[in-house]
Chains A and B, each alone.
Chain A
Amino acid sequence: MNPSPLDRHGQDFLLPLPVSGRGLGGGVWRTAPSAANPSPPTPLPETGRGERILASRETLNQRVVVAIVVSVGLLAVIVATGGRDGHAQDAKEAKSTPAVASQRILNCQRCHTAPLPGDEAAGITSFVTLTEFKVWHEQDLHATAYENIVPNQTGGPGGRPNQAWEMEQRLKPHRPAGYKVNAAAECLTCHAVDLTMHRQPAVPLADKKLSDFDTLSGVSCEACHGLADNWESPHARPKWRQVMPEEKEKAGQVDLRDPQKRTLKCASCHIGNTEEGKFITHEMYAAGHPALPPFEMVTFCRDEPRHWFTHRENKVLAAMDETQARTNFHFAAPATATKTSGVCPDARDLVIGAVAAFEANMKLLAEDATATEKSGGLLDFAHFDCYACHHDLRVPSDRQPRGVPGRPLPRQWDLLQGVLTNLGGADNAKLADPVKNTQTGLGDLRKAFEDRPFGNPKDVAARASDLQKLCRDIRPELAKVSFTSDRTRDLYRKLADRIAAKDATYLDHDSAQQLVWALAVLQEELRASGGSAETEAAKTARQKLNAIVALELATKPRSPIGPRAGARQAEIQRFEFKPFRDAAHNWVKALEPK
């Protein structure tokens, strides 16, 4: 007899955890395939479902076992050496936590790897895929976040040292004795799960210890969804869907369906967040950290790859009472060929994402500039446009027409500027002033950067703080804007103008890529809302553009960080604006209605 799927987190919820390598979950693990999975967002290839689940479980088991063995070994070494190592304390703590750490992720794995028989009938798989864990584990780059920072002198391409090993060598002389990148809080805040994330006030970076992190699974479920201690059991009950997002947040579950919250969550690592101890300094980049790609929330989520249903796919939300769907799940009923009254949810998310990401950026900048002003140093170079300085010198140069030559500039924020132009015409009166002030503020911020080489920290702090506040005012108002197909088309044109107009001014690779990503999202959205498919001409133009700037973030299959970062840098080095602009122009043109 199968228990009711909705009750699986009932009394028998706490499953026995493995203590040996015999296999996790034992007989509790159910592999019986359900009927056809309704259009999984990221179909997995080839193998049968049962085999895949087993394989995935096997891999994870091995990893956990290896981790435990390694930890025990490490402890033995430390005990033997009498804890001479400066990080012996940390390592000891590491030993004391792995069971807990592994348990955390296993709790998610148990339900979110494959639906159980009856799940579909119960309508669960119309709301969540129940393959989330599997998608994450097999395809998501976040799952490799910790592996990537484990130094290995022969683990790189061709048996050379891997990136982490090289970084460690370069940072070591400038860090306390015994420095290890994969035990350093400055790395783990983004490359592992920070178990102190809900503490108030936040634990300062300097006080975070190795034991404050779950390092066994990289950036896993709880890194984004919140530590599940208080909501794991209740969230599997049907009642949970009636609970307001604010209540869920009180229990620690992050309201990721809210595009604002989601963006801020992504941005905490992908842009930085001082409070959470997440900031890739120029020192880290110089030591070898790959350059962060520009951030565009919808693209990042799509290519994660997504392990959830979009607004267009989610049948439960489509059928739900409209107010409830909106207030509880931030649902925006999508327009289709037949239902033209709907909106373009991805366009909405893209706009909110652009504003919220910029806000996160300004917060980071304001905080660091304030600290810089106090210490009398220079703004960290990581706040600047990398390619303002890092470019071979050529004459004539595409860069010279921009700005004040010789003063390193911040990033261009072209996506945000395009978005603001679009919002300028929004039918929400509360938006008009803050949008206009943000546009002016961007100019003032630029002046603070141009005032002297590496900017005037005092002015930068003030301007960035103003911009942060403005965005915080704009953000909630955006949820009220109706992103109709017309508004989406207008946004599309505004962004396209920045990129593909024959007189478009210079864009560096990253700004160009960010705009192209946004345009691709909007194109897809407009096609979906009009019920049309991509034409052959558009596809050809897209492929040509893709050869200049990658339209997708991730490679399939998932490739190791070294070659991936190398390919990206090679693309940046090849990048020249004019060929890009021509390819973008053709791509945009191929989509215009005849």
Chain B
Amino acid sequence: MPGGYTQQQISRPFEPGLASKRLPLAVLLTACAIAVAHSLCAEPRNSPPEKHSETLSYKLPSAAYCGSLSCASASCHAAGDHGRPGSEYSTWVNGDPHFRSYSVLFEKASRDIVEKLCRRDGKPVPAHESAICLRCHAPSAIVNDAASARSSSITGVSCEDCHGPAEKYLTEHYRDRFKSLSRRDKAEAYGLFPTKDLAFRVTMCASCHVGDAEREVNHDLIAAGHPRLAFEYTGYHHWKSESLEWRHWEESAYGPDFEARAWEIGQVACARSAAELLRVRAQKAGKAPWPELAEYSCFACHKDLPSVKGFDTSRTPGSLPWANWYFATTDLAMDDPDAYRTAVARLGKHMEQPSRSRDTVVREAGELVARLDAQLRRLQDAADRDSLSRPYTDRQIARKMGASVRHALANDAARFADQDWDGLTQHYLASAAYYYAWSEVDRTGRDPQLADSLTSLGRALAFPRTYNSPRNTDPAELLRLFQRLRSDTPDPRGIK
């Protein structure tokens, strides 16, 4: 696997013995690539420039990229201790997997992927010259027409890919008058992306880590060897390479409840991106693979037989199960969970018959995007308003955590066994996020027993060595661990 990615990392996020903010997830280093897999074979590097999503109502100006070296002056972002203010550039170079996202395209694993992907038709274009790889792995390499001129200095996902092309703000952003501007003004007048807006930030991450109209990791690409994308924001932001912190910022815009807010906004933003990707995929059917198998639960099919442990009688036996990773726990972050669940279930039903229901899928996925967009706005507004001044109390967080565990345990043991690995892992990540939030907010500190509960659960969800799927996971064991987690979860009634 390129970048040493293994999915078992997803299920081993929780290591409470280490520094406070460091959890989850996979190194989806190579996490991004694009659309119609076979277009890799034909598409040249210089395709038209694209812009980041215009969701979230920021009108971003178009501007030129200046290159990450313009940020690297020692007096600006390339000095100071690793991870501290002033060291952003060097932290990125030394610890951030995004820095290596371009160089992995030269590795053998990437060459193998391209070879397999192009087996059906077309002549392989090397990964490091192919637009579908570069759009995520080195966005700066294909924007503007200066790409070829700059090719010698192509880096991975660099400063401007997340902060916006620097032409308009480069010489402004360190001045006092710039610093007093609002988030919106910085973005709309100068093109500095509002990354402190969590809804914007996660949606931007998701443009590669989930996919969008221009970028996706579809089933063809996964089958050729690209890691599956399974993005969960709070899991990712705790990722740590060996001993190096890779984050080059502090969450100064949020209070101690940041973890909880980030989980909720992350859930809704990822689901929103996933629903939008589904809409685009269904719309492109004919020009792109449809049904798109990456939409479905990986492990419903990818398991050695026999492995039916429980059985969901609501679904036609043997039909395609849609929506596990991005939709299993989102309802916990919705104001109208029942209506939301109904909408997701209805869409899932149509996805059982993807070729007959394509138009319905386009329409209903669009409706789901609108619903999630509205919620995303509400959650972000609440976070902006309250996180610093009136953060969630420990009692509120304990209640939310309890709800997420109960959500996993909903109904009886048989129903529990029906749940897919994706769904159970999302529940586990939810509990981990709330655990961190709770231990930040609660003055009494960490609860070792609860931490141990989470660690055990993470271990049980981990894939065995050399596997990329949950071989022989025992639902009875997972049930026991979730039950244990429930009894270890702080009781909100006991919190004053």
Please give the residue numbers on chain A whose beta carbons come within 8 Å of chain B beta carbons, in ascending order: 169-174, 281-288, 291, 375-378, 381, 386, 389-395, 400, 403-407, 450, 452-454, 566, 569, 572-573
Within 8 A of A (CB), among B281-295: 289-293
**Cα of A169 to Cα of B310 in the assembled complex, Å:** 12
Contact B305–A390 (Cβ < 8 Å): yes
**Cα of A244 to Cα of B1 in the assembled complex, Å:** 65
B293 partner residues in chain A, CB cutoff 8 A: 406, 453
A170 partner residues in chain B, CB cutoff 8 A: 311, 313, 317
* Surface stretch bound by A, among B123-131, B352-360, B387-395: B352-360
**Cα of A1 to Cα of B218 in the assembled complex, Å:** 81
Main secondary structure on B side of the interface with A = loop
Contact A452–B289 (Cβ < 8 Å): yes
**Cα of A400 to Cα of B469 in the assembled complex, Å:** 16
Inter-chain contact total with CB atoms closer than 8 Å: 114
B301 within 8 A of partner (CB) = yes
Contact A386–B291 (Cβ < 8 Å): no
Contact B317–A407 (Cβ < 8 Å): no
Q: Distance (Å) between the CB of A453 and the closest chain B CB?
A: 5
Residue on A nearest B6 in the bound complex, by CB:
A395
A171 in complex: contacting residue of B116, B224, B289, B317, CB < 8 Å: B317
**Cα of A377 to Cα of B350 in the assembled complex, Å:** 12
Q: Distance (Å) between the CB of B120 and the closest chain A CB?
A: 4
**Cα of A169 to Cα of B414 in the assembled complex, Å:** 13
B222 within 8 A of partner (CB) = yes
Contact A405–B223 (Cβ < 8 Å): yes
Q: A283-B318, A287-B317, A452-B290 are in contact. Are A386 and B305 (CB under 8 A)?
A: yes
B492 within 8 A of partner (CB) = no
Q: Distance (Å) between the CB of B408 and the closest chain A CB?
A: 24
Residue on A nearest B314 in the bound complex, by CB:
A173
Contact A287–B318 (Cβ < 8 Å): yes
A173 in complex: contacting residue of B218, B308, B313, B318, CB < 8 Å: B313
Q: A174-B317, A375-B356, A406-B293 are in contact. Are A391 and B302 (CB under 8 A)?
A: yes
12 pairs, A vs B, C-beta closer than 8 Å: A291-B305, A376-B355, A391-B303, A392-B468, A393-B467, A393-B469, A394-B467, A400-B223, A406-B221, A452-B290, A566-B306, A569-B305
Contact B317–A286 (Cβ < 8 Å): yes
Q: Distance (Å) between the CB of A76 and the closest chain B CB?
A: 31
Instruction: Report the 7 A-B pairs with minimum CB-CB distance, sorted nearest first.
Output: A286-B318, A406-B223, A405-B223, A286-B317, A393-B468, A393-B469, A389-B301
Q: Distance (Å) between the CB of B425 and the closest chain A CB?
A: 15
| Interface 0/1 of B299-342, CB less than 8 Å to A | 00111111010010110111100000000000000000000000
Q: Distance (Å) between the CB of A579 and the closest chain B CB?
A: 16
Residue on A nearest B466 in the bound complex, by CB:
A394
B219 within 8 A of partner (CB) = yes
A404 partner residues in chain B, CB cutoff 8 A: 116, 119-120, 220
B362 within 8 A of partner (CB) = no
Contact B354–A378 (Cβ < 8 Å): yes
**Cα of A386 to Cα of B307 in the assembled complex, Å:** 13
| Interface 0/1 of B226-259, CB less than 8 Å to A | 0000000000000000000000000000000000
**Cα of A378 to Cα of B222 in the assembled complex, Å:** 21
Q: Distance (Å) between the CB of B231 and the closest chain A CB?
A: 18
B466 partner residues in chain A, CB cutoff 8 A: 394-395
A282 partner residues in chain B, CB cutoff 8 A: 318
**Cα of A395 to Cα of B303 in the assembled complex, Å:** 14
**Cα of A287 to Cα of B306 in the assembled complex, Å:** 11
A395 partner residues in chain B, CB cutoff 8 A: 1, 225, 466, 468
Q: A377-B356, A452-B290 are in contact. Are A405 and B220 (CB under 8 A)?
A: yes
**Cα of A381 to Cα of B321 in the assembled complex, Å:** 14
Residue on B nearest A573 in the bound complex, by CB:
B304
Residue on A nearest B118 in the bound complex, by CB:
A404
A453 in complex: contacting residue of B292, B304, B305, B319, CB < 8 Å: B292
**Cα of A318 to Cα of B117 in the assembled complex, Å:** 58
Contact A392–B469 (Cβ < 8 Å): yes
Within 8 A of A (CB), among B353-386: 353-356
Contact B317–A453 (Cβ < 8 Å): no
Contact B301–A405 (Cβ < 8 Å): no
A450 partner residues in chain B, CB cutoff 8 A: 120
Contact B314–A406 (Cβ < 8 Å): no
Q: Distance (Å) between the CB of B462 and the closest chain A CB?
A: 14
Q: A391-B304, A392-B302, A573-B305 are in contact. Are A376 and B318 (CB under 8 A)?
A: no
B183 within 8 A of partner (CB) = no
B459 within 8 A of partner (CB) = no
**Other A-B pairs beyond A386-B305, A390-B305, A400-B116, 16, CB < 8 Å:** A170-B317, A285-B318, A286-B317, A287-B317, A376-B356, A378-B291, A389-B301, A392-B467, A394-B468, A400-B223, A400-B225, A406-B223, A407-B120, A453-B219, A453-B292, A573-B304
**Cα of A173 to Cα of B355 in the assembled complex, Å:** 23
B291 in complex: contacting residue of A393, A400, A403, A454, CB < 8 Å: A454
A283 in complex: contacting residue of B117, B306, B317, CB < 8 Å: B317
B308 in complex: contacting residue of A171, A288, A454, A572, CB < 8 Å: A288
Q: Which of A171, A291, A406: most chain B CB closer than 10 A?
A: A406
**Cα of A282 to Cα of B466 in the assembled complex, Å:** 29
Contact A377–B355 (Cβ < 8 Å): yes
A291 partner residues in chain B, CB cutoff 8 A: 305
Q: Distance (Å) between the CB of B322 and the closest chain A CB?
A: 14
B471 within 8 A of partner (CB) = yes
Q: Distance (Å) between the CB of B173 and the closest chain A CB?
A: 43
Contact B317–A406 (Cβ < 8 Å): no
**Cα of A400 to Cα of B115 in the assembled complex, Å:** 11
**Cα of A390 to Cα of B469 in the assembled complex, Å:** 11
A403 in complex: contacting residue of B119, B317, B469, CB < 8 Å: B119
Residue on B nearest A291 in the bound complex, by CB:
B305
Q: Which of A285, A400, A404: most chain B CB closer than 10 A?
A: A404
